[in-house]
Structure 1
Protein backbone atom coordinates (compact mmCIF):
# COMPACT_ATOMS: atom_id res chain seq x y z
CA UNK A 1 0.00 0.00 0.00
CA UNK A 2 1.14 3.55 -0.76
CA UNK A 3 2.36 5.26 2.43
CA UNK A 4 1.77 8.99 2.92
CA UNK A 5 2.89 11.77 5.21
CA UNK A 6 0.44 14.69 5.12
CA UNK A 7 1.00 18.29 6.20
CA UNK A 8 -2.40 19.95 6.50
CA UNK A 9 -4.39 22.77 8.07
CA UNK A 10 -7.57 24.77 7.48
CA UNK A 11 -10.60 23.59 5.47
CA UNK A 12 -8.55 22.66 2.42
CA UNK A 13 -6.30 20.52 4.61
CA UNK A 14 -9.25 18.88 6.32
CA UNK A 15 -11.20 18.12 3.14
CA UNK A 16 -8.20 16.90 1.13
CA UNK A 17 -7.03 14.62 3.94
CA UNK A 18 -10.60 13.37 4.23
CA UNK A 19 -10.64 12.58 0.49
CA UNK A 20 -7.36 10.65 0.73
CA UNK A 21 -8.81 8.57 3.55
CA UNK A 22 -11.95 7.91 1.51
CA UNK A 23 -9.70 6.53 -1.21
CA UNK A 24 -8.09 4.15 1.25
CA UNK A 25 -4.74 5.91 1.54
CA UNK A 26 -2.38 4.82 4.31
CA UNK A 27 -1.58 8.05 6.13
CA UNK A 28 1.31 7.27 8.46
CA UNK A 29 1.66 10.72 10.04
CA UNK A 30 0.00 14.13 9.91
CA UNK A 31 1.70 17.45 10.59
CA UNK A 32 -0.67 20.30 11.44
CA UNK A 33 -0.71 23.47 13.55
CA UNK A 34 -1.93 24.58 16.94
CA UNK A 35 -4.73 27.12 16.53
CA UNK A 36 -3.60 30.67 17.24
CA UNK A 37 -5.43 32.41 20.11
CA UNK A 38 -5.31 35.68 18.10
CA UNK A 39 -7.00 34.19 15.02
CA UNK A 40 -10.71 33.64 14.38
CA UNK A 41 -10.95 29.85 13.98
CA UNK A 42 -13.83 29.35 11.54
CA UNK A 43 -12.42 26.29 9.77
CA UNK A 44 -12.42 22.55 10.42
CA UNK A 45 -9.76 20.90 12.57
CA UNK A 46 -7.23 18.60 10.88
CA UNK A 47 -6.08 17.50 14.32
CA UNK A 48 -9.58 16.30 15.22
CA UNK A 49 -9.91 14.47 11.90
CA UNK A 50 -6.62 12.68 12.54
CA UNK A 51 -7.71 11.77 16.06
CA UNK A 52 -11.01 10.30 14.81
CA UNK A 53 -9.13 8.06 12.38
CA UNK A 54 -6.40 7.09 14.82
CA UNK A 55 -3.68 8.75 12.76
CA UNK A 56 -0.59 9.98 14.65
CA UNK A 57 -0.14 13.73 14.35
CA UNK A 58 2.32 16.41 15.38
CA UNK A 59 1.85 20.17 15.70
CA UNK A 60 5.56 20.93 15.72
CA UNK A 61 7.28 22.12 12.53
CA UNK A 62 8.06 19.30 10.07
CA UNK A 63 11.44 20.98 9.45
CA UNK A 64 12.67 20.40 13.00
CA UNK A 65 15.54 17.87 12.99
CA UNK A 66 13.66 15.35 15.14
CA UNK A 67 10.71 15.50 12.74
CA UNK A 68 12.90 15.23 9.65
CA UNK A 69 14.39 12.09 11.19
CA UNK A 70 10.88 10.76 11.88
CA UNK A 71 9.83 11.27 8.26
CA UNK A 72 12.99 9.54 7.07
CA UNK A 73 12.22 6.60 9.36
CA UNK A 74 8.70 6.33 7.94
CA UNK A 75 10.06 6.44 4.36
CA UNK A 76 6.78 7.59 2.77
CA UNK A 77 6.01 7.16 -0.92
CA UNK A 78 4.44 10.62 -1.10
CA UNK A 79 4.34 13.74 1.03
CA UNK A 80 1.32 16.02 0.58
CA UNK A 81 0.95 19.61 1.76
CA UNK A 82 -2.56 21.05 2.01
CA UNK A 83 -2.55 24.64 3.30
CA UNK A 84 0.30 23.85 5.69
CA UNK A 85 1.68 27.21 6.83
CA UNK A 86 5.38 26.41 7.05
CA UNK A 87 7.70 26.32 4.05
CA UNK A 88 8.94 22.73 3.79
CA UNK A 89 12.71 22.58 3.41
CA UNK A 90 14.45 20.80 0.52
CA UNK A 91 15.88 18.10 2.79
CA UNK A 92 12.32 17.06 3.63
CA UNK A 93 11.07 17.29 0.04
CA UNK A 94 13.77 14.83 -1.00
CA UNK A 95 12.61 12.10 1.38
CA UNK A 96 9.40 10.74 -0.19
CA UNK A 97 10.29 8.16 -2.82
CA UNK A 98 7.62 9.16 -5.33
CA UNK A 99 7.32 12.87 -4.76
CA UNK A 100 6.23 15.77 -2.56
CA UNK A 101 3.13 17.63 -3.70
CA UNK A 102 1.29 20.78 -2.65
CA UNK A 103 -2.29 21.92 -3.19
CA UNK A 104 -2.33 25.66 -3.92
CA UNK A 105 -5.46 27.82 -3.91
CA UNK A 106 -5.09 29.43 -7.32
CA UNK A 107 -4.84 28.62 -11.02
CA UNK A 108 -1.06 28.37 -11.07
CA UNK A 109 1.21 29.97 -12.12
CA UNK A 110 -1.14 32.89 -11.31
CA UNK A 111 -1.12 34.03 -7.67
CA UNK A 112 1.82 32.07 -6.40
CA UNK A 113 2.63 32.83 -2.77
CA UNK A 114 0.51 33.67 0.22
CA UNK A 115 -3.28 34.13 0.64
CA UNK A 116 -4.03 33.68 -3.08
CA UNK A 117 -7.81 33.72 -2.65
CA UNK A 118 -7.81 37.08 -0.87
CA UNK A 119 -5.49 38.59 -3.47
CA UNK A 120 -7.63 37.34 -6.34
CA UNK A 121 -10.74 38.99 -4.88
CA UNK A 122 -8.93 42.20 -3.96
CA UNK A 123 -7.62 42.46 -7.51
CA UNK A 124 -11.08 41.97 -9.00
CA UNK A 125 -10.36 38.67 -10.74
CA UNK A 126 -13.29 36.79 -12.26
CA UNK A 127 -11.76 33.34 -11.81
CA UNK A 128 -9.15 31.46 -9.85
CA UNK A 129 -8.65 27.78 -9.10
CA UNK A 130 -6.98 24.97 -7.20
CA UNK A 131 -3.72 23.42 -8.39
CA UNK A 132 -1.86 20.29 -7.33
CA UNK A 133 1.85 20.57 -8.11
CA UNK A 134 5.18 19.03 -7.19
CA UNK A 135 7.11 20.96 -4.57
CA UNK A 136 10.55 22.37 -5.29
CA UNK A 137 12.73 24.82 -3.36
CA UNK A 138 11.06 27.84 -4.99
CA UNK A 139 7.48 28.24 -3.67
CA UNK A 140 4.60 27.16 -5.91
CA UNK A 141 6.93 26.55 -8.84
CA UNK A 142 7.08 22.78 -9.44
CA UNK A 143 5.47 20.72 -12.20
CA UNK A 144 1.67 20.81 -12.30
CA UNK A 145 -0.29 17.56 -11.88
CA UNK A 146 -3.87 18.89 -12.13
CA UNK A 147 -5.91 22.10 -11.88
CA UNK A 148 -9.58 23.01 -11.47
CA UNK A 149 -10.96 26.45 -12.27
CA UNK A 150 -13.28 28.43 -9.98
CA UNK A 151 -15.49 31.35 -11.01
CA UNK A 152 -15.48 34.51 -8.86
CA UNK A 153 -18.77 36.41 -8.92
CA UNK A 154 -18.77 40.17 -8.38
CA UNK A 155 -20.81 39.58 -5.21
CA UNK A 156 -18.45 36.95 -3.79
CA UNK A 157 -16.46 37.61 -0.66
CA UNK A 158 -13.09 35.93 -0.09
CA UNK A 159 -14.90 33.46 2.18
CA UNK A 160 -17.29 32.56 -0.65
CA UNK A 161 -14.38 32.01 -3.03
CA UNK A 162 -12.41 30.03 -0.46
CA UNK A 163 -15.41 27.70 -0.11
CA UNK A 164 -15.43 27.19 -3.89
CA UNK A 165 -11.66 26.65 -3.96
CA UNK A 166 -11.97 24.04 -1.21
CA UNK A 167 -14.45 22.06 -3.31
CA UNK A 168 -12.16 22.42 -6.34
CA UNK A 169 -9.24 21.14 -4.26
CA UNK A 170 -11.17 18.01 -3.32
CA UNK A 171 -12.05 17.47 -6.99
CA UNK A 172 -8.37 17.72 -7.92
CA UNK A 173 -7.27 15.26 -5.24
CA UNK A 174 -10.06 12.82 -6.14
CA UNK A 175 -8.90 12.85 -9.77
CA UNK A 176 -5.18 12.91 -9.17
CA UNK A 177 -4.52 10.48 -6.34
CA UNK A 178 -5.35 7.30 -8.30
CA UNK A 179 -3.12 8.51 -11.14
CA UNK A 180 -0.28 9.29 -8.76
CA UNK A 181 -0.43 5.86 -7.14
CA UNK A 182 -0.60 4.23 -10.58
CA UNK A 183 2.38 6.24 -11.78
CA UNK A 184 0.40 7.77 -14.66
CA UNK A 185 -0.16 11.31 -13.35
CA UNK A 186 0.96 14.06 -15.76
CA UNK A 187 3.77 16.50 -14.95
CA UNK A 188 3.30 19.82 -16.72
CA UNK A 189 6.25 22.25 -16.36
CA UNK A 190 5.19 25.53 -14.81
CA UNK A 191 6.04 28.66 -16.79
CA UNK A 192 6.62 31.23 -14.05
CA UNK A 193 6.87 34.01 -16.66
CA UNK A 194 3.14 33.60 -17.27
CA UNK A 195 2.27 33.95 -13.61
CA UNK A 196 2.46 36.26 -10.62
CA UNK A 197 3.69 36.14 -7.03
CA UNK A 198 2.08 37.81 -4.01
CA UNK A 199 3.20 38.01 -0.40
CA UNK A 200 1.16 37.64 2.77
CA UNK A 201 -1.20 40.26 4.12
CA UNK A 202 -1.38 41.87 7.57
CA UNK A 203 -4.47 43.43 9.18
CA UNK A 204 -2.82 46.84 8.60
CA UNK A 205 -2.99 46.22 4.85
CA UNK A 206 -6.77 46.64 5.05
CA UNK A 207 -6.51 50.45 5.22
CA UNK A 208 -8.87 51.96 2.63
CA UNK A 209 -7.42 54.38 0.11
CA UNK A 210 -10.40 56.55 -0.86
CA UNK A 211 -8.54 57.93 -3.89
CA UNK A 212 -8.97 54.53 -5.55
CA UNK A 213 -12.14 53.81 -7.50
CA UNK A 214 -15.34 52.63 -5.82
CA UNK A 215 -14.92 49.21 -7.42
CA UNK A 216 -11.33 48.90 -6.16
CA UNK A 217 -12.36 49.84 -2.61
CA UNK A 218 -15.32 47.45 -2.82
CA UNK A 219 -12.98 44.64 -3.91
CA UNK A 220 -10.72 45.30 -0.94
CA UNK A 221 -13.69 45.24 1.43
CA UNK A 222 -15.07 41.94 0.12
CA UNK A 223 -11.56 40.52 -0.04
CA UNK A 224 -10.91 40.97 3.69
CA UNK A 225 -14.39 40.96 5.24
CA UNK A 226 -15.52 38.26 7.72
CA UNK A 227 -13.90 36.00 8.81
CA UNK A 228 -10.82 38.09 7.96
CA UNK A 229 -9.82 41.26 9.88
CA UNK A 230 -11.72 43.69 7.62
CA UNK A 231 -11.02 46.85 5.62
CA UNK A 232 -10.88 50.01 7.69
CA UNK A 233 -10.82 53.76 7.58
CA UNK A 234 -10.95 56.63 10.10
CA UNK A 235 -13.65 59.10 11.07
CA UNK A 236 -12.66 61.92 13.42
CA UNK A 237 -9.52 59.94 14.19
CA UNK A 238 -11.49 56.87 15.24
CA UNK A 239 -10.99 53.58 13.41
CA UNK A 240 -14.03 52.26 11.56
CA UNK A 241 -14.14 48.82 9.92
CA UNK A 242 -16.28 48.59 6.78
CA UNK A 243 -17.64 45.06 6.56
CA UNK A 244 -19.97 45.47 3.61
CA UNK A 245 -20.35 47.97 0.76
CA UNK A 246 -21.53 48.38 -2.84
CA UNK A 247 -20.37 50.64 -5.70
CA UNK A 248 -22.78 53.37 -6.79
CA UNK A 249 -22.94 56.04 -9.48
CA UNK A 250 -22.02 59.64 -8.78
CA UNK A 251 -18.97 61.58 -7.74
CA UNK A 252 -17.58 63.36 -4.70
CA UNK A 253 -14.23 64.11 -3.13
CA UNK A 254 -12.47 60.93 -1.89
CA UNK A 255 -13.71 60.05 1.60
CA UNK A 256 -16.43 62.74 1.62
CA UNK A 257 -19.79 61.67 3.05
CA UNK A 258 -22.43 62.50 0.45
CA UNK A 259 -25.51 61.25 2.28
CA UNK A 260 -26.49 59.34 5.39
CA UNK A 261 -29.40 57.31 3.99
CA UNK A 262 -27.98 55.55 2.09
CA UNK A 263 -24.50 56.11 3.46
CA UNK A 264 -22.62 57.21 0.33
CA UNK A 265 -18.93 58.10 0.31
CA UNK A 266 -16.84 59.65 -2.46
CA UNK A 267 -13.92 57.80 -4.03
CA UNK A 268 -11.42 58.47 -6.80
CA UNK A 269 -14.05 57.26 -9.26
CA UNK A 270 -17.69 56.79 -8.33
CA UNK A 271 -19.43 56.56 -4.98
CA UNK A 272 -19.42 53.71 -2.49
CA UNK A 273 -22.46 52.81 -0.42
CA UNK A 274 -21.33 51.58 3.00
CA UNK A 275 -23.78 48.99 4.31
CA UNK A 276 -22.24 47.53 7.46
CA UNK A 277 -19.71 49.23 9.74
CA UNK A 278 -18.05 48.85 13.11
CA UNK A 279 -16.58 51.76 15.00
CA UNK A 280 -13.63 50.94 17.26
CA UNK A 281 -14.86 49.60 20.57
CA UNK A 282 -18.43 49.16 19.33
CA UNK A 283 -20.52 46.44 17.73
CA UNK A 284 -21.00 46.01 14.00
CA UNK A 285 -24.16 47.72 12.78
CA UNK A 286 -26.02 48.41 9.56
CA UNK A 287 -25.29 51.82 8.06
CA UNK A 288 -28.67 53.22 9.09
CA UNK A 289 -27.78 52.52 12.72
CA UNK A 290 -24.40 54.16 12.54
CA UNK A 291 -23.97 57.15 14.83
CA UNK A 292 -26.06 59.93 13.26
CA UNK A 293 -23.75 62.65 14.54
CA UNK A 294 -20.90 61.13 12.57
CA UNK A 295 -22.65 61.53 9.26
CA UNK A 296 -22.92 65.27 8.83
CA UNK A 297 -21.94 66.68 5.44
CA UNK A 298 -18.81 68.27 6.88
CA UNK A 299 -17.38 64.88 7.85
CA UNK A 300 -15.22 62.64 5.74
CA UNK A 301 -13.46 59.32 6.06
CA UNK A 302 -9.67 59.56 6.14
CA UNK A 303 -6.48 57.48 6.16
CA UNK A 304 -5.72 58.21 9.79
Structure 2
Protein backbone atom coordinates (compact mmCIF):
# COMPACT_ATOMS: atom_id res chain seq x y z
CA UNK A 1 0.00 0.00 0.00
CA UNK A 2 1.25 3.46 -0.92
CA UNK A 3 0.00 6.45 1.06
CA UNK A 4 0.06 10.22 1.10
CA UNK A 5 -0.21 11.48 4.68
CA UNK A 6 -1.37 14.87 5.94
CA UNK A 7 -0.09 15.10 9.51
CA UNK A 8 0.84 17.35 12.42
CA UNK A 9 1.22 17.24 16.20
CA UNK A 10 1.82 14.16 18.39
CA UNK A 11 -1.00 12.20 16.78
CA UNK A 12 0.57 12.86 13.40
CA UNK A 13 3.94 11.57 14.58
CA UNK A 14 2.61 8.45 16.29
CA UNK A 15 0.22 7.46 13.48
CA UNK A 16 2.87 8.02 10.83
CA UNK A 17 5.14 5.68 12.81
CA UNK A 18 2.33 3.08 12.84
CA UNK A 19 2.08 3.23 9.04
CA UNK A 20 5.82 2.72 8.69
CA UNK A 21 5.81 -0.14 11.21
CA UNK A 22 3.02 -1.87 9.27
CA UNK A 23 4.99 -1.60 6.03
CA UNK A 24 2.97 1.13 4.34
CA UNK A 25 5.01 3.05 1.78
CA UNK A 26 4.62 6.76 2.48
CA UNK A 27 5.32 8.63 -0.76
CA UNK A 28 4.62 12.14 0.56
CA UNK A 29 3.81 13.88 3.83
CA UNK A 30 2.00 17.22 3.96
CA UNK A 31 2.47 19.08 7.24
CA UNK A 32 2.55 22.61 8.69
CA UNK A 33 5.22 25.13 9.46
CA UNK A 34 5.23 25.75 13.22
CA UNK A 35 3.55 29.01 14.23
CA UNK A 36 6.08 31.17 16.14
CA UNK A 37 3.21 32.64 18.18
CA UNK A 38 2.12 29.20 19.41
CA UNK A 39 3.60 27.27 22.32
CA UNK A 40 5.11 24.21 20.61
CA UNK A 41 4.91 21.46 23.23
CA UNK A 42 4.36 18.61 20.78
CA UNK A 43 6.54 16.46 18.51
CA UNK A 44 7.47 17.42 14.95
CA UNK A 45 6.18 15.53 11.92
CA UNK A 46 8.73 17.36 9.75
CA UNK A 47 11.58 16.15 11.96
CA UNK A 48 10.33 12.55 11.74
CA UNK A 49 10.25 12.85 7.95
CA UNK A 50 13.84 14.10 7.93
CA UNK A 51 14.91 11.15 10.10
CA UNK A 52 13.10 8.62 7.88
CA UNK A 53 13.97 10.21 4.54
CA UNK A 54 10.31 10.81 3.65
CA UNK A 55 9.61 13.73 1.29
CA UNK A 56 7.43 16.38 2.91
CA UNK A 57 5.98 19.77 2.04
CA UNK A 58 4.38 22.58 4.07
CA UNK A 59 1.97 24.38 1.72
CA UNK A 60 -0.05 27.36 2.88
CA UNK A 61 -3.13 26.48 0.86
CA UNK A 62 -4.47 22.91 0.90
CA UNK A 63 -6.87 23.81 -1.91
CA UNK A 64 -4.19 24.90 -4.37
CA UNK A 65 -3.79 23.20 -7.72
CA UNK A 66 -0.08 22.80 -6.99
CA UNK A 67 -0.83 20.67 -3.93
CA UNK A 68 -3.39 18.60 -5.82
CA UNK A 69 -0.83 17.96 -8.54
CA UNK A 70 1.83 17.00 -6.00
CA UNK A 71 -0.49 14.52 -4.28
CA UNK A 72 -1.54 13.00 -7.61
CA UNK A 73 2.11 12.65 -8.64
CA UNK A 74 2.76 10.56 -5.52
CA UNK A 75 0.20 8.02 -6.84
CA UNK A 76 -1.31 7.09 -3.46
CA UNK A 77 -3.52 4.06 -2.99
CA UNK A 78 -4.86 5.72 0.15
CA UNK A 79 -4.76 9.11 1.90
CA UNK A 80 -4.56 9.64 5.65
CA UNK A 81 -4.98 12.79 7.70
CA UNK A 82 -3.65 12.75 11.26
CA UNK A 83 -4.32 16.05 13.05
CA UNK A 84 -3.68 18.10 9.94
CA UNK A 85 -5.32 21.44 10.64
CA UNK A 86 -7.10 22.12 7.34
CA UNK A 87 -10.08 20.53 5.65
CA UNK A 88 -9.01 18.75 2.48
CA UNK A 89 -10.87 19.52 -0.77
CA UNK A 90 -13.03 16.74 -2.17
CA UNK A 91 -10.88 16.80 -5.32
CA UNK A 92 -7.85 15.80 -3.23
CA UNK A 93 -9.76 13.10 -1.35
CA UNK A 94 -10.81 11.54 -4.66
CA UNK A 95 -7.23 11.00 -5.84
CA UNK A 96 -6.69 7.81 -3.82
CA UNK A 97 -8.65 4.78 -5.12
CA UNK A 98 -8.95 3.22 -1.64
CA UNK A 99 -10.28 6.46 -0.12
CA UNK A 100 -9.16 9.07 2.39
CA UNK A 101 -9.30 8.68 6.17
CA UNK A 102 -8.92 11.05 9.12
CA UNK A 103 -8.04 10.43 12.78
CA UNK A 104 -10.27 12.51 15.06
CA UNK A 105 -9.76 13.01 18.80
CA UNK A 106 -13.18 11.98 20.08
CA UNK A 107 -15.62 9.10 19.97
CA UNK A 108 -17.61 10.15 16.93
CA UNK A 109 -20.28 11.23 16.37
CA UNK A 110 -19.72 13.15 19.62
CA UNK A 111 -17.49 16.22 19.62
CA UNK A 112 -17.08 16.71 15.92
CA UNK A 113 -15.16 19.82 14.94
CA UNK A 114 -12.24 21.63 16.56
CA UNK A 115 -10.25 20.88 19.76
CA UNK A 116 -12.46 17.94 20.79
CA UNK A 117 -10.34 16.95 23.80
CA UNK A 118 -10.62 20.41 25.35
CA UNK A 119 -14.37 20.50 24.80
CA UNK A 120 -14.84 17.04 26.32
CA UNK A 121 -12.95 18.05 29.47
CA UNK A 122 -14.82 21.36 29.66
CA UNK A 123 -18.14 19.50 29.62
CA UNK A 124 -17.09 17.13 32.37
CA UNK A 125 -17.05 13.98 30.25
CA UNK A 126 -15.71 10.80 31.83
CA UNK A 127 -14.69 9.17 28.55
CA UNK A 128 -13.39 10.14 25.14
CA UNK A 129 -11.11 8.52 22.57
CA UNK A 130 -9.97 8.49 18.97
CA UNK A 131 -11.89 7.66 15.80
CA UNK A 132 -10.53 6.83 12.36
CA UNK A 133 -13.21 7.79 9.87
CA UNK A 134 -13.73 8.21 6.16
CA UNK A 135 -13.30 11.81 5.03
CA UNK A 136 -16.11 13.61 3.26
CA UNK A 137 -17.04 17.18 2.32
CA UNK A 138 -18.61 17.70 5.75
CA UNK A 139 -16.20 17.62 8.72
CA UNK A 140 -15.99 14.40 10.74
CA UNK A 141 -19.06 13.05 8.98
CA UNK A 142 -17.82 9.97 7.10
CA UNK A 143 -18.20 6.32 8.04
CA UNK A 144 -16.39 5.12 11.17
CA UNK A 145 -13.49 2.77 10.46
CA UNK A 146 -12.10 2.19 13.97
CA UNK A 147 -12.39 3.60 17.49
CA UNK A 148 -10.56 3.31 20.81
CA UNK A 149 -11.81 4.78 24.09
CA UNK A 150 -9.94 6.23 27.08
CA UNK A 151 -11.14 7.43 30.50
CA UNK A 152 -11.13 11.03 31.66
CA UNK A 153 -10.40 10.99 35.38
CA UNK A 154 -11.82 13.70 37.65
CA UNK A 155 -8.59 15.69 37.91
CA UNK A 156 -7.23 15.09 34.39
CA UNK A 157 -6.27 18.17 32.42
CA UNK A 158 -6.79 18.38 28.67
CA UNK A 159 -3.04 17.97 28.25
CA UNK A 160 -3.14 14.67 30.15
CA UNK A 161 -6.20 13.49 28.23
CA UNK A 162 -4.56 14.42 24.94
CA UNK A 163 -1.72 12.05 25.82
CA UNK A 164 -4.23 9.25 26.30
CA UNK A 165 -6.02 10.09 23.06
CA UNK A 166 -2.69 9.95 21.20
CA UNK A 167 -2.22 6.39 22.43
CA UNK A 168 -5.84 5.57 21.52
CA UNK A 169 -5.24 6.87 17.99
CA UNK A 170 -2.13 4.71 17.69
CA UNK A 171 -4.00 1.63 18.92
CA UNK A 172 -7.03 2.19 16.67
CA UNK A 173 -4.88 2.57 13.58
CA UNK A 174 -2.58 -0.33 14.48
CA UNK A 175 -5.56 -2.65 14.96
CA UNK A 176 -7.47 -1.83 11.77
CA UNK A 177 -4.55 -1.28 9.39
CA UNK A 178 -4.03 -4.94 8.39
CA UNK A 179 -7.65 -5.12 7.22
CA UNK A 180 -7.26 -1.83 5.33
CA UNK A 181 -4.10 -3.09 3.63
CA UNK A 182 -6.00 -6.22 2.63
CA UNK A 183 -8.70 -4.06 1.06
CA UNK A 184 -11.29 -5.05 3.68
CA UNK A 185 -12.07 -1.66 5.18
CA UNK A 186 -14.83 -1.82 7.82
CA UNK A 187 -17.39 0.98 7.65
CA UNK A 188 -19.75 1.64 10.55
CA UNK A 189 -22.50 4.30 10.58
CA UNK A 190 -21.59 7.76 11.89
CA UNK A 191 -25.03 9.00 12.95
CA UNK A 192 -24.59 12.77 13.20
CA UNK A 193 -28.03 13.16 14.81
CA UNK A 194 -26.62 11.41 17.89
CA UNK A 195 -23.55 13.64 18.13
CA UNK A 196 -22.40 17.21 18.58
CA UNK A 197 -20.24 19.79 16.81
CA UNK A 198 -17.98 22.44 18.36
CA UNK A 199 -15.83 25.21 16.92
CA UNK A 200 -12.39 26.38 17.95
CA UNK A 201 -11.53 28.11 21.22
CA UNK A 202 -9.69 31.38 21.77
CA UNK A 203 -7.65 32.50 24.82
CA UNK A 204 -10.41 34.91 25.79
CA UNK A 205 -12.78 31.95 26.16
CA UNK A 206 -10.77 31.03 29.26
CA UNK A 207 -12.08 33.95 31.35
CA UNK A 208 -13.54 32.71 34.64
CA UNK A 209 -17.06 33.62 35.68
CA UNK A 210 -16.86 33.18 39.45
CA UNK A 211 -20.67 33.18 39.72
CA UNK A 212 -20.71 29.68 38.22
CA UNK A 213 -20.54 26.47 40.30
CA UNK A 214 -17.11 25.28 41.39
CA UNK A 215 -17.25 22.13 39.25
CA UNK A 216 -17.91 24.16 36.09
CA UNK A 217 -15.01 26.49 36.83
CA UNK A 218 -12.76 23.53 37.66
CA UNK A 219 -13.68 21.91 34.34
CA UNK A 220 -12.75 25.14 32.56
CA UNK A 221 -9.39 25.19 34.35
CA UNK A 222 -8.71 21.56 33.43
CA UNK A 223 -9.73 22.16 29.80
CA UNK A 224 -7.31 25.05 29.23
CA UNK A 225 -4.55 24.49 31.82
CA UNK A 226 -0.94 24.82 30.56
CA UNK A 227 0.43 24.24 28.00
CA UNK A 228 -2.84 25.77 26.79
CA UNK A 229 -3.38 29.48 27.58
CA UNK A 230 -5.04 28.82 30.95
CA UNK A 231 -8.19 29.98 32.75
CA UNK A 232 -7.84 33.58 33.83
CA UNK A 233 -9.51 36.26 35.90
CA UNK A 234 -9.14 39.99 36.48
CA UNK A 235 -8.88 41.23 40.06
CA UNK A 236 -8.68 44.98 40.62
CA UNK A 237 -7.45 45.54 37.08
CA UNK A 238 -4.74 42.85 37.11
CA UNK A 239 -4.98 39.60 35.13
CA UNK A 240 -4.20 36.36 36.95
CA UNK A 241 -3.95 32.91 35.32
CA UNK A 242 -4.64 29.63 37.09
CA UNK A 243 -1.65 27.37 36.50
CA UNK A 244 -2.63 24.51 38.82
CA UNK A 245 -5.75 24.02 40.91
CA UNK A 246 -7.99 21.45 42.57
CA UNK A 247 -11.50 21.45 43.92
CA UNK A 248 -11.10 22.55 47.54
CA UNK A 249 -11.94 20.15 50.31
CA UNK A 250 -11.51 22.88 52.88
CA UNK A 251 -14.47 24.98 53.90
CA UNK A 252 -13.77 28.60 53.11
CA UNK A 253 -15.13 31.47 55.21
CA UNK A 254 -17.97 33.57 53.90
CA UNK A 255 -15.95 35.40 51.26
CA UNK A 256 -16.98 37.25 48.10
CA UNK A 257 -16.65 35.44 44.79
CA UNK A 258 -13.21 35.53 43.18
CA UNK A 259 -9.63 35.28 44.39
CA UNK A 260 -8.92 35.05 48.11
CA UNK A 261 -6.15 34.07 50.50
CA UNK A 262 -6.94 32.14 53.69
CA UNK A 263 -4.25 30.86 56.08
CA UNK A 264 -1.57 31.42 53.43
CA UNK A 265 -3.50 29.35 50.88
CA UNK A 266 -4.96 30.73 47.64
CA UNK A 267 -8.58 30.06 46.69
CA UNK A 268 -11.08 30.96 44.02
CA UNK A 269 -14.50 31.33 45.63
CA UNK A 270 -17.31 30.17 43.32
CA UNK A 271 -20.99 30.90 42.93
CA UNK A 272 -22.20 27.83 44.80
CA UNK A 273 -20.13 28.63 47.89
CA UNK A 274 -17.51 26.03 47.09
CA UNK A 275 -13.98 26.98 46.04
CA UNK A 276 -10.97 25.99 44.01
CA UNK A 277 -7.73 25.54 45.92
CA UNK A 278 -5.19 27.34 43.73
CA UNK A 279 -1.84 25.57 43.90
CA UNK A 280 -0.06 27.76 41.34
CA UNK A 281 -1.02 31.21 40.07
CA UNK A 282 0.69 33.58 37.65
CA UNK A 283 0.45 37.17 36.48
CA UNK A 284 2.38 38.64 33.55
CA UNK A 285 4.12 35.30 33.13
CA UNK A 286 5.49 35.31 36.69
CA UNK A 287 4.51 33.06 39.60
CA UNK A 288 2.40 34.71 42.30
CA UNK A 289 2.80 33.54 45.91
CA UNK A 290 -0.02 33.55 48.49
CA UNK A 291 1.70 36.42 50.30
CA UNK A 292 1.98 38.46 47.11
CA UNK A 293 -1.65 37.84 46.21
CA UNK A 294 -2.82 38.76 49.71
CA UNK A 295 -0.79 41.95 49.63
CA UNK A 296 -2.17 42.87 46.23
CA UNK A 297 -5.78 42.19 47.23
CA UNK A 298 -5.48 44.12 50.50
CA UNK A 299 -3.69 47.06 48.87
CA UNK A 300 -6.14 47.25 45.99
CA UNK A 301 -9.06 47.07 48.41
* TM-score, normalisation: structure 1: 0.93
Shift of 1:258: 6.2
Shift of 1:123: 1.0
Correspondent of 2:258 among 237, 255, 259 = 255
Shift of 1:135: 0.3
Helix, strand or coil for the counterpart of 2:208? coil
Shift of 1:246: 1.6
Helix, strand or coil for the counterpart of 2:172? helix
Correspondent of 1:268 among 262, 271, 280 = 271
Shift of 1:260: 5.3
Alignment match, 1:119: 119
Alignment match, 1:24: 23
Structure 1: how far apart are the matches of 2:112 and 2:72?
29
Instruction: Identify the range of structure 1 (66-75 vs 126-135) with the bigger mean alpha-carbon deviation.
Output: 66-75
Alignment match, 1:277: 281
Structure 1: how far apart are the matches of 2:283 and 2:162?
27
Alignment match, 1:302: none
Residues 248-301 of structure 1, C-alpha deviations (whole Å, 9 max, x = no match): 355644326362532223211122222211112x5124x5354331244985xx
Shift of 1:161: 0.3
Q: Let me know the Cα RMSD of the aligned residues.
A: 1.7
Runs of 4+ more than 4 Å apart: 249-252
Alignment match, 2:53: 54
- State how 1:64-75 maps to structure 2 within 5 Å: 64-75=64-75
Q: What residue ranges of structure 2 are gaps of 5+ in the alignment?
A: none
Structure 1's 297 and 263: CA in aligned 2 closer, same or farther, altered over 3 A? farther
Alignment match, 1:291: 293
- State how 1:1-304 maps to structure 2 within 5 Å: 2-60=1-59, 61-248=61-248, 249=251, 252-255=255-258, 257=260, 259=262, 261-269=264-272, 270-280=274-284, 282-285=285-288, 287-288=289-290, 290-296=292-298
Instruction: Identify the range of structure 1 (72-81 vs 142-151) with the bigger mean alpha-carbon deviation.
Output: 72-81
Helix, strand or coil for the counterpart of 1:125? coil
* Count of aligned pairs: 296
Shift of 1:177: 1.1
Q: What residue ranges of structure 1 are gaps of 5+ in the alignment?
A: 300-304
Question: Contact 1:257/1:296 (CA < 8 Å) preserved in 2?
Answer: no
Helix, strand or coil for the counterpart of 1:291? helix
Question: Contact 1:257/1:297 (CA < 8 Å) preserved in 2?
Answer: no
Residues 40-68 of structure 1, C-alpha deviations (whole Å, 9 max, x = no match): 11111100111111111000033221010
Question: Contact 1:277/1:290 (CA < 8 Å) preserved in 2?
Answer: no
Question: Contact 2:8/2:44 (CA < 8 Å) preserved in 1?
Answer: yes
Structure 2: how far apart are the matches of 1:6 and 1:220?
33
Shift of 1:236: 1.1
